[in-house]
Amino acid sequence: MNTTSEPSFRQSVDIMFNRAVALMDLPSGMVEKIRVCNATYTVRFGVRLRGGIQTFTGYRAVHSEHMEPVKGGIRYAGNVNQDEVEALAALMTYKCALVQTPFGGSKGGVAINPLDWNEEELERITRRFAYELIKRDMINPAQNVPAPDMGTGAREMAWIADQYRRMNTTDINARACVTGKPLNAGGIAGRVEATGRGVQYALREFFRHPQDVAKAGLSGKLDGKRVVIQGLGNVGYHAAKFLEEQDGCCITCIVERDGAIICDTGLKVEDVRNHLRETGSVRGFPGSKFIENGAAGLELECDILIPAALEGVINLDNAERIKAALIIEAANGPITAGADDILRERGTVIIPDMYANAGGVTVSYFEWVKNLSHIRFGRMERRQEEARHELLVDELEKVKTAGGNNLVLSENFKKQYLHGAGELELVRSGLDDTMRDAYQSMQAIWHERADVKDLRTAAYLVSIQRVAASYATMGL
């Protein structure tokens, strides 16, 4: 965050929370219980590296245990701190409640820049941090289940899972101690793409409602919409790629850490990603204009702005200059509370983080269930579906043979129909269903209540109501 007069990330989340509870009829004690972060564990641990001992600082915050396990990613970034993990843990509570994954909220991180360390060193740092959390039950399939976040991915999750297994050799559910693992280590198809895929499904759902599209001052479908995206990491890359290749969006600007590239006729996301991988920068991407001040890319004319990197990037400094009609928060907390006020006043529609990036935790839930059930996901349903489809196809064949009509089933159709959905299709359809349902639950409040002016407040209302109901039922 650039502006000293801005609240911290956690304070920003609290301001948005308070705006919502002011419209609710909850006892003040309950409001306070939900708002506060239950506990934050800080650990300073040493690892023998590069001929000496290096000391690192790590955190795991548990915001709400109204449901267990609690869930939330582990972030590796230089500026990870207690305020940030507590804000992110709170967002996890509200996110899980909104998309109805049965978890409380948590988040963790280590204050390191992963680019400063090689793979072997990162493995030793990760295993040591995991050890510190596992021995305090802060990684455990029944209590606290991490996942990837900025700076971490499937590789780190595999190390954490292995560390847990070594320390808990008789735990048959060991694999469920962390999600976002590689497929061959108990992961699930579609987890890597899940958060970006969820952003795509969220936008598709938004554009199914012309009334909502009109509120943003837009019209028509997703096809042809001009999109600016910040961050071409896990979330940003998948979101941008799917929107470009499958929904006909025109990606006019990509903002990365060292600057931004602009191309009015549209950037090929896959090619930009390859260029970024090969050169470490977006600079010099053929057919594009490079600007050193990447943040200026956020201020370009466009229909949809997708911040998918850091928190606080839309703040009091630049909010007035943001021109996008619609902002979808793929990152957590990219808009500060002050900027949110400015944009809301101006009528910019914001699809809030707790909904927009919930695809990750949704598919993490599928992975956790798969690990606990010890069966290849969807396997039984698939056989059952196949049996039903066989009956249908036999019947159609009989109709055809009897000369009832001219129906001809192609071999290709039969193959696709009979083989039903694989794990990836099941995961995607489950995610799509979740994103549609959650959108409609926010939207109902946005449309029905005159005092609820924006989707974020509506999302908070849905979530807080559910968390409160959970506490009220189980007691404190």
Ligand X SMILES: NC(=O)c1ccc[n+]([C@@H]2O[C@H](COP(=O)([O-])OP(=O)(O)OC[C@H]3O[C@@H](n4cnc5c(N)ncnc54)[C@H](O)[C@@H]3O)[C@@H](O)[C@H]2O)c1
Residues that constitute the known binding site for NAD(+): 195, 234
Closer to ligand X by CB, 31 or 254: give it. Answer: 254
Closer by beta carbon to ligand X, 21 or else 331: 331
Task: Name which of 124 and 257 has its Cβ closer to ligand X.
Answer: 257
Nearest residue (beta carbon) to ligand X? 233
CB of 95 vs ligand X, minimal distance in Å: 8
C-beta of residue 163 within 8 angstroms of C-beta of residue 134 = yes
Binding site for substrate, by residue number, is 71, 95, 364
Our CB check for ligand X shows the closer of 222 and 255 to be: 255
x/- track of binding to ligand X for residues 389-428 (CB under 6 A): ----------------------------------------
372 CB burial (10 A radius; 0-12, 13-18, 19+): middle
Mapped to the 3 state alphabet, what secondary structure does 70-99 carry?
Answer: EEEEEEECCCCCHHHHHHHHHHHHHHHHHH
Burial string for 404-427 (b: 16+ CB within 10 Å, else e) reads: eeeeeeeeeeeeeeeebeebeebb
Contact 289, 274 (CB under 8 A): no
Question: What burial class does residue 102 get, using C-beta atoms within 10 Å of its C-beta: 0-12 exposed, 13-18 middle, 19+ buried?
Answer: middle
- Which span sits near ligand X by CB under 6 A: 144-152, 170-178, 205-213, 387-395? 144-152
148 binds ligand X (CB under 6 A): yes
Q: Does 26 bind ligand X (CB under 6 A)?
A: no
The residue among 185 and 396 lying less far from ligand X, judged by its C-beta, is 185
Of 151 and 452, which has the nearer Cβ to ligand X?
A: 151
**Which of 20, 122, 216, 232 is close enough to bind ligand X by CB under 6 A?**
232
Binding residue count for ligand X, defined by CB under 6 A: 24
- Burial letters 311-346, b for 16+ CB under 10 A, else e: bbbbbbbbbeebebbbbbbbbbbbbbbbbbebbbee
| Shortest Cβ 23–ligand X spacing (Å) | 26
Instruction: Tell which positions 34-93 bind ligand X, by CB under 6 A.
Output: none
Give me the phi and psi of 182, to 5 degrees please.
-65, 155
Q: How many CB atoms lie within 10 A of CB 9?
A: 24
Out of 84, 132, 149, 454, point to the residue binding ligand X (CB under 6 A): 149
**Angle, vertex CA 331, rays to CA 330 and CA 332, nearest 5:** 120
The SS3 call for residue 148 is strand
Compute the distance between CA of residue 349 and CA of residue 453 in angstroms, rounded to an integer: 10
Contact 42, 80 (CB under 8 A): no
Identify which of residues 221 and 257 has a Cβ nearer to ligand X in the complex. 257
Q: Would you say 282 and 232 are in contact if contact means Cβ atoms under 8 Å apart?
A: yes
Which residues inside 242-261 make contact with ligand X, applying CB under 6 A?
A: 255-257
Residue 135 a catalytic site member: no
Give ∠ CA 168-173-179 in degrees, rounded to 5.
100
Residues 273-312 that bind ligand X (CB under 6 A): 294, 308-310
User: Is 357 one of the binding residues for ligand X (CB under 6 A)?
Assistant: yes
- Site for ligand X (CB under 6 A): which residue of 230, 315, 336, 463? 230
Catalytic residue among 33, 107, 135, 215: 107
Q: Is 106 in the site for ligand X (CB under 6 A)?
A: no
AA letter at 383: R
- Touching ligand X, residues 320-339 (CB under 6 A): 330-332
Chain CA centroid to CA 94, Å: 13
Instruction: Please state, in angstroms and rounded to a whole number, the distance separating the CA atoms of residues 282 and 107.
Output: 30
Any contact of residue 195 with ligand X (CB under 6 A)?
yes
Q: From the list 61, 134, 150, 161, which residue makes contact with ligand X (rule: CB under 6 A)?
A: 150
Is residue 315 part of the contact set for ligand X (CB under 6 A)? no
Other Cβ atoms less than 10 A from the Cβ of 173: the count is 14
Tokens of 448: 């029905």
CB of 328 to ligand X, least distance (A): 12
Q: Which residues bind ligand X (CB under 6 A)?
A: 148-151, 195, 230-236, 255-257, 294, 308-310, 330-332, 357, 360
Question: What residues are annotated to the active site?
Answer: 107
